[in-house]
Amino acid sequence: MTHAVRHQSHAFGFLHADKAEGLTLSRRNLLKASLAGVGALSLPRLVQARSARQVPAARSLILLWLAGGPSHIDMLDPKPDRPPENRGPFGVTRTRLPGVFLCEHLPRLAARLERFSLLRAVDCRGSNHEPNTVMQTANRRAEPRTNPEAVRYPAIGSLVARFHGANHPAAPAYAAFMRSRSHLAFAGYLGQAYDPFLANEAARLPIYDLLGNDTGRLSRGALLELPTGVDAQRLHDRRHLLQQFDRLRRHLERSRVVEAFDVHTQQALQLLTSSRVRTALDLEQEPRAIRDRYGPHLWCQQALLARRLIEAGVAFVTLDLSYHTASGTWDTHGDNIPPYGGIRKGLGPLLPLFDHLVTTLVDDLEQRGLLEQTLVIAMGEFGRTPRIGTQGSTDGRDHWPYVMTVLLAGGGLRHGQVIGRSTPDGGAIQERPVTPGDLAATIYRHFGIPLDSTYTDPAGRLLHLLPDGGQPIHELF
């Protein structure tokens, strides 16, 4: 299902370059929105926004987005003493935390759990998917199926880009590996300058089909390639640029960007022509031993690239961990409800992969001295029903927004703890609920963003960073 996203107008609207503007550039739109590939002036606008404030200390975040809604009961909040129709088909394994169990298919995570935290009472009521925006915006009204304005609420990553910015001027603040547009929240009211840079379009990665089979082909990764006949020297030739832009002067004069055109356009050119991000997205630059440690799977290679992007100065990276472009690979309704399967056949093969990915990423960040500054979060839209076999399936579970579990690591937080508790059947919150706003407030505090920050929409309305309120999860600090 396709959902239209409304964005701010920009100086080059008459060129109809808004199909892939902002940081989600394409070669075609680079040409359309400018004469030599500089396009749409959203990059100068982004640089201008950054230069208007002091950039705080480098902090970063990697969001592992399990698109579809992972089953908390069959992963991170097992119920081994319950009847089979509740506990599901998997056994459990002991962890490094006394009395805490995980699914038997997560042994590496269990052995390292003192370096992680589990939020087992996350209240995600109102969350849905296609698009998956409530948890990614911390706004319960961000549900486009019931609220047409929902697509305008900014993603947490976009707000981090707005209020914190990148950790290096030649890197985007917010990047994503996107399988489907309906799996991500975008910048909305903030404007396309704060949309995610689509890193998957600039990296050569294995191409998987909708069921998770490796096709043996690689994506082209041509997003950062300059169009034929346009080189860096031409882009940096200010005289040539100004001559060409003269004919657009009357349109530029209607844009606030013209106020700082000289400085910010030159900085945008540096961002476009810098090799920093291009090098970060080239896995051939990574030692073979590290590549082998992560392994050849698409999601694991994206995790390695996320670490490289963090090193290059990106502040916020989202990994859309899904094969399917519809509701998401973790949407395990049942074996008789294709294409995702149920718990045993659908979720089962994903768990060892997730176990390897998240522990390898955290180990690598720690070994490289990046874990203290990098917060890692794994979550989806909601949990799954406490009773198995929904919708006439053998072992599926339906959507369950009343409780889910979120996994965290790094960021200099206090880990090795379980925060909150679900009821014995995993169907409701028993103690210490955590709201989407609380999770977002924790993220903003990690980045040093004041929680009372505000911004204005295109109509001039004052909007709050935390529209539903929220407080940092104090146990983590």
34-62 mean pLDDT: 54
pLDDT at residue 263 in the model: 41
Does 270 map to a domain? no
Does 16 map to a domain? no
27-53 mean pLDDT: 43
Does 25 map to a domain? no
Distances (CA, A) of 172 to 42, 89, 101, 378, 397: 12, 43, 39, 22, 38
Does 353 map to a domain? yes
Does 235 map to a domain? no
Higher-confidence residue of 279 and 229: namely: 279
Query: Please, are residues 192 and 18 in contact by the beta-carbon 8 Å criterion?
Result: yes
What is the total count of domains within the chain? Answer: 1
349-407 tens-digit pLDDT: 999 999 999 999 999 999 999 999 999 999 999 999 999 999 999 999 999 999 999 99
pLDDT at residue 234 in the model: 52
pLDDT at residue 465 in the model: 97
Query: Please, are residues 195 and 142 in contact by the beta-carbon 8 Å criterion?
Result: no
Q: Is the pLDDT of residue 17 over 70?
A: no
Q: Is the pLDDT of residue 29 over 50?
A: no
**CATH code at position 431:** 3.40.720.10
Does 17 map to a domain? no
62-79 mean pLDDT: 98
Q: Is the pLDDT of residue 335 over 60?
A: yes
HEC sequence for the chain: CCCCCCCCCCCCHHHCCCCCCCCCCCHHHHHHCCCCCCCCCHHHHHHHHHHCCCCCCCCEEEEEECCCCCCCCCCCCCCCCCCHHHHCCCCEEECCCCCCEEECCCHHHHHCHHHEEEEEEECCCCCCCCCCCHHHHCCCCCCCCCCHHHHHCCCHHHHHHHHCCCCCCCCCCEEEECCCHHHCCCCHHHCHHHCCEEHHHHCCCEEECCCCCEEEEECCCCCCCCCCCCCHHHHHCHHHHHHHHHHHHHHHCCCHHHHHHHHHHHHHHHHHHCCHHHHHCCHHHCCHHHHHHHCCCHHHHHHHHHHHHHHHCCCEEEEECCCCCCCCCCCCCECCCCCCECHHHHHCCHHHHHHHHHHHHHHHHHHCCCCCCEEEEEECCCEECCCCCHHHCCCCCCEECCCEEEEEEECCCCCCEEECEECCCCCCEEECCECHHHHHHHHHHHHCCCCCCEEECCCCCEEECCCCCCCCCHHHC
Does 212 map to a domain? yes
- At residue 273, what is the residue type? T
pLDDT at residue 102 in the model: 98
33-42 tens-digit pLDDT: 333 333 333 4
Query: What's the CA gap between 431 and 378, in Å, rounded?
Result: 21
Does 28 map to a domain? no
The range of the structural domain enclosing residue 308 comes to: 60-227+287-476
Helices 298-312 and 350-367 pack at an angle, to 10 degrees, of: 20
Q: Is the pLDDT of residue 118 over 90?
A: yes
pLDDT at residue 230 in the model: 57
pLDDT at residue 242 in the model: 53
Q: What global pTM score does this model have? A: 0.83
